[in-house]
């Protein structure tokens, strides 16, 4: 294993430099990008402004923390790891503009924050043969392509949620989603999860535009079907509009929402009309430490959380974790590939049993996500943050 893995697992050892050189010579790989100036560069494109900023600001912090730790542990094959950062303003066209500026300067991309900008830069990553580790779980990466998707697939998130509600005696679930790509994915996945679990029933559904200022009509339509709980698959301001509308129409039932709302900024924004309870399917970085699979993961999580709190004075939420893991995974692939950015794709596809803070990654040519439903449990959003509820296998 590499030095990067070694920083996260005491059993791992660094590959000797001559081993890396020999492997490159035998494989015919190109000269490592860091050979000229001793620096590997990752292009980090996140939403520092716009609707996606509730994720992007934390993602930048998580990525910076990972780079700091990797460099403190010796870098990538002894070379320094550097971030080149850009704000896509939560806009696909801006993401393309920033990615174009970085092409030829970076060894890989991490980001953007949301699925729309990720889809927009996919052709650039493909044509340049450069890894793009998209930070949105809403992306569906093509097998053998150049894009990866962070966190857990939407279907696995909704499946865990519906299964949890079934265990709590809730069988009639309403569905309210935005009309954007993320909302459509949430609607499709929630309905599939309901169909797959015996005894569950869809009890009314409706959609609304991301720029809607009221959804009371849609909520009244759903209420006629007498749901016992409601899924609101919308992020940021849209979800807030839905929660406020529930109070206006007197729909007082348990609510669940996307993990894109696992941020303190979001909770603060909706605290005056926070549903009780508001459940969110969440990855391992939000679990009770007693639920972690082993002591190595417990140590990894503790180190990550402590370092983040020390740097920023608050606990990390969804954004920092996916970006932190993304940087570590890309750096690991670059190290294994001896810095050859094209060969790094193959090396990333070969990564197995890689413990990150979000979950344990197992990639393949067919699977550019690496996480499954086993990496999901349920938390409750409160005015004070996020409380672990359960649902671990």
Residue 166's pLDDT band (cuts 50, 70, 90): very high
Share of the chain above pLDDT 90, in %: 80
Q: What is the pLDDT of residue 5?
A: 52
β-pair type (278-282, 377-382): antiparallel
Phi, psi angle pair for 84, to nearest 5°: -110, 115
Q: What is the pLDDT of residue 206?
A: 98
Tell me if the bond preceding 277 is cis, omega within 30° of 0: yes
Distance CA 229, CA 42 (A): 42
Tell me the mean pLDDT in the region 67-74: 97
Per-chain mean pLDDT for the chain: 90
Distance CA 279, CA 254 (A): 8
- pLDDT surpassing 70 at residue 25: no
- The better pLDDT of the pair 9, 65 is held by 65
Q: 3-class SS at 301?
A: helix
Q: What is the pLDDT of residue 4?
A: 61
Do residues 376 and 281 lie in contact, with contact meaning Cβ atoms separated by under 8 Å? yes
β-pair type (255-257, 354-355): unpaired
For 285-329, the pLDDT digits (tens) are 999 999 999 999 999 999 999 999 999 999 999 999 999 999 999
Residue 180's pLDDT band (cuts 50, 70, 90): confident
Q: Residue 155: name the closest of 383, 371, 380, 391 by CA.
A: 371
Q: What is the pLDDT of residue 235?
A: 87
- pLDDT surpassing 80 at residue 2: no
Name all contacts of 344-348 with Cβ < 8 Å and 24+ positions apart.
344/107, 344/108, 344/131, 345/129, 345/131, 345/146, 348/131, 348/148
- The better pLDDT of the pair 180, 67 is held by 67
Distance CA 62, CA 114 (A): 16
Q: What is the pLDDT of residue 12?
A: 37
Return the structure tokens found at 306: 């402590």
Distance CA 193, CA 105 (A): 43
Q: Residue 182: name the closest of 263, 133, 225, 238 by CA.
A: 238
Tell me the mean pLDDT in the region 167-178: 97
Distance CA 229, CA 175 (A): 9
Do residues 330 and 110 lie in contact, with contact meaning Cβ atoms separated by under 8 Å? yes
Share of the chain above pLDDT 70, in %: 91
**CB burial class (10 A; 0-12, 13-18, 19+) of residue 384?**
exposed
Residue 8's pLDDT band (cuts 50, 70, 90): low
Residue 277's pLDDT band (cuts 50, 70, 90): very high
- pLDDT surpassing 70 at residue 212: yes
Residue with tokens 């509600």: 165
User: What is the chain's Cα-based Rg?
Assistant: 21
Tell me the mean pLDDT in the region 117-139: 94
Q: Which run of H or E residues covers position 102?
A: helix 92-102
Q: What is the pLDDT of residue 35?
A: 46
**What's the sign of the alpha-carbon dihedral 202, 189, 165, 237?**
negative
For 233-255, the pLDDT digits (tens) are 998 889 999 999 999 999 999 99
Tell me if the bond preceding 112 is cis, omega within 30° of 0: yes
């Amino acid at each position: 294993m590499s030095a990067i893995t070694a920083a996260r697992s005491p059993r791992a050892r660094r590959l000797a430099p001559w081993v890396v050189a020999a492997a490159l010579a035998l494989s015919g790989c190109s000269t490592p990008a860091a050979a000229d100036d001793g620096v590997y560069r990752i292009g980090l494109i996140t939403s520092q402004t716009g609707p996606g900023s509730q994720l992007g600001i934390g993602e930048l912090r998580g990525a910076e923390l990972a780079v700091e730790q990797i460099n403190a542990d010796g870098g990538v094959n002894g070379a320094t790891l550097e971030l080149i950062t850009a704000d896509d303003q939560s806009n696909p066209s801006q993401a393309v503009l920033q990615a174009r500026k970085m092409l030829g300067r970076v060894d890989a991309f991490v980001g953007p924050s949301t699925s729309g900008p990720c889809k927009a830069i996919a052709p650039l990553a493909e044509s340049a043969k450069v890894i793009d580790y998209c930070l949105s779980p809403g992306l569906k990466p093509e097998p053998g392509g150049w894009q990866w998707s962070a966190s857990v697939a939407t279907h696995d998130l909704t499946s865990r949620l519906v299964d949890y509600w079934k265990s709590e005696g809730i069988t009639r679930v309403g569905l309210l989603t935005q009309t954007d790509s993320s909302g459509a994915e949430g609607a499709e996945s929630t309905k599939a999860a309901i169909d797959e679990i015996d005894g569950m029933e869809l009890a009314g559904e409706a959609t609304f535009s991301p720029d809607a200022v009221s959804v009371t009509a849609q909520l009244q339509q759903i209420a006629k079907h007498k749901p016992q709980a409601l899924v609101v698959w919308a992020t940021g301001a849209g979800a807030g509009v839905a929660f406020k509308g529930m109070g206006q129409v007197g729909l007082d039932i348990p609510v669940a929402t996307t993990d894109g709302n696992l941020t303190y900024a979001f909770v603060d924004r909706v605290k005056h009309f926070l549903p009780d309870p508001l459940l969110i399917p969440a990855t391992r970085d939000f679990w009770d430490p007693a639920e972690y699979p082993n002591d190595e993961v417990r140590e990894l999580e503790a180190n990550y959380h402590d370092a983040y709190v020390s740097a920023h004075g608050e606990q990390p939420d969804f954004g920092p974790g996916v970006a932190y893991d993304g940087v570590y995974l890309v750096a690991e692939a670059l190290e294994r590939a001896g810095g050859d950015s094209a060969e790094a794709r193959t090396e990333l596809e070969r990564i197995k049993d890689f413990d990150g803070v979000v979950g344990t990654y197992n990639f393949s040519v067919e699977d550019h996500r690496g996480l499954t439903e086993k990496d999901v449990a349920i938390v409750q959003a409160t005015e004070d943050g996020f409380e672990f509820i359960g649902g671990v296998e």
